[in-house]
């Protein structure tokens, strides 16, 4: 069965600093990978996705992620964090006949002024 | 921009009562899902629905749960006899793609319905 690991429960960065959130997945076939963001009391918003092709994918709000098959990773990056990026970030892998998502446990991002 | 809408945003109920959570998926989408998130925990898959039937369900989705698409627009989750541990945020999602009957997996989520069981 597929699984997703986000090793960092909580990350704190200063505004303007760079950010990298880690994600490792376990899945037998070629994965479809996603990053979602959840602001407090809100739903899940898709940041970016990887289906195939170029392993560096660009998303909304200046985020990007790189798929590395050899490391089973799909880390999320942003060169300069804004205070509004404070939220919880979930990595997910899509599998199953209905392509339902399996989520990681999330990484809470705090941005210091 | 089209979006998935969920009602109610918050429901408080007594243990043992039945609850129905409602969702209106994006109109041209073909796959529908329910997920739940217990406070402080990860988002968990409950069930997927395609072509008017359940396509997959998790071990969480036991006999107390059911889903229905009663008309062309609504997608409901019914919890027959609520327990304290059913307290969670329930997310509905829909997905547009079906290529040769297979979904490519981009899900659009609603803002959730918070269920509190007392």
**What CATH number does residue B72 fall under?**
2.60.40.10
Contacts of range A80-83, beta carbons closer than 8 Å, 24 or more positions apart: A80/A16, A80/A17, A80/A18, A81/A13, A81/A14, A81/A15, A81/A16, A81/A17, A81/A18, A81/A19, A81/A109, A81/A111, A82/A15, A82/A111, A83/A15, A83/A111, A83/A113
State how far the Cα of A113 lies from the Cα of B39, in Å rounded to an integer.
27
- Strands of chain A, DSSP E: 3-5, 10-14, 19-21, 24-26, 32-38, 44-50, 56-58, 64-68, 73-78, 87-95, 100-103, 107-112
**Token reading at B59:** 């071990």
Residue range of the domain that includes B93: 5-97
Element (H, E) at B56: strand B53-57
- Report pLDDT for A43: 84
Q: Residue B104: what pLDDT?
A: 57
Confidence check: pLDDT of B71 > 90: no
* The residue count for chain B: 118
Residue B74 forms part of a structural domain: yes
Q: What is the pLDDT of residue B103?
A: 52
Q: Which helix (H) or strand (E) holds B65?
A: strand B65-68
Min Cα separation A106/chain B (Å)? 7
The pLDDT assigned to B41 comes to: 87
Range with the largest mean pLDDT of A2-6, A29-33, B15-19: B15-19
Average pLDDT score over residue span A83-107: 88
Counting the structural domains of chain B, the total is: 1
Higher-confidence residue of B31 and A11: namely: A11
A15: exposed, middle or buried (C-beta count within 10 Å: 0-12, 13-18, 19+)?
A: middle
Instruction: Give mean pLDDT, residues A79-108.
Output: 89
Q: Does residue B49 contact residue B57 with C-beta atoms inside 8 Å?
A: no
Q: Is residue B65 in some structural domain? A: yes
What's residue A98's pLDDT? 63
Candidates B31, B41, B110; nearest CB to A98: B31
Structural contact between residues B84 and B77, judged by C-beta atoms closer than 8 angstroms: no
Is the per-residue pLDDT at B101 higher than 60?
no
**Do B31 and A43 make contact, defined as CB atoms within 8 angstroms?**
no
Looking at domain A3-112, what is its CATH homologous superfamily? Immunoglobulins (2.60.40.10)
Does B76 have pLDDT greater than 60? yes
Q: Which two tokens stand for residue A4?
A: 């997703």
Q: Which of A1, A98, A103, A104 to mutate to test the interface with B (most CBs of B within 10 A)?
A: A98
Determine which of A22-26, A92-96, B60-64 has the lowest per-residue pLDDT on average: A92-96
pLDDT of residue B60: 93
Q: Give the percent of chain A with pLDDT over 70.
A: 97
For tokens 């399996």, the residue is A102
Report the percentage of chain A scoring pLDDT > 90: 70
Tens-place pLDDT, residues A22-73: 999 998 777 889 999 998 878 899 999 888 788 999 999 999 999 999 999 9
Chain A positions with Cβ closer than 8 Å to B: 32, 34, 36, 42-46, 49, 51, 90, 94, 96-106
Q: Is pLDDT of A19 > 80?
A: yes
Distance in Å, alpha carbon of B84 to nearest chain A alpha carbon: 21
Mean pLDDT of all residues in B74-81: 96
């Amino acid at each position: 069965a597929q699984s997703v690991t986000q090793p960092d429960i909580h990350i704190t960065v200063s505004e303007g600093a760079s950010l990298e959130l880690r994600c490792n997945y376990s899945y037998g076939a070629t994965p479809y990978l996603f990053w979602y963001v959840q602001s407090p009391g809100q739903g899940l918003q898709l940041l970016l996705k990887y289906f195939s092709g170029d392993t560096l994918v660009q998303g909304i709000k200046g985020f990007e992620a790189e798929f590395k098959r050899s490391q089973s990773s799909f880390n999320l990056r942003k060169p300069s964090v804004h205070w509004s990026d404070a939220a919880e970030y979930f990595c997910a892998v899509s599998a199953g006949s209905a392509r339902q998502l399996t989520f990681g446990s999330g990484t809470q991002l705090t941005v210091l002024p | 921009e089209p979006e998935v809408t969920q009602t109610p945003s918050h429901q408080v109920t007594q243990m043992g009562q039945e609850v129905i959570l409602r969702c209106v998926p994006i109109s041209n989408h073909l796959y529908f899902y329910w997920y739940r998130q217990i406070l402080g925990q990860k988002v968990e898959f409950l069930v997927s629905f395609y072509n008017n039937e359940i396509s997959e369900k998790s071990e969480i989705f036991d006999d107390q749960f059911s889903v229905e698409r009663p008309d062309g627009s609504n997608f409901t989750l019914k919890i027959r006899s609520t327990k304290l541990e059913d307290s969670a945020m329930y997310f509905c999602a829909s997905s547009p793609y079906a290529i040769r009957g297979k979904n490519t997996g981009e899900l659009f989520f609603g803002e959730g319905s918070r269920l509190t069981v007392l």
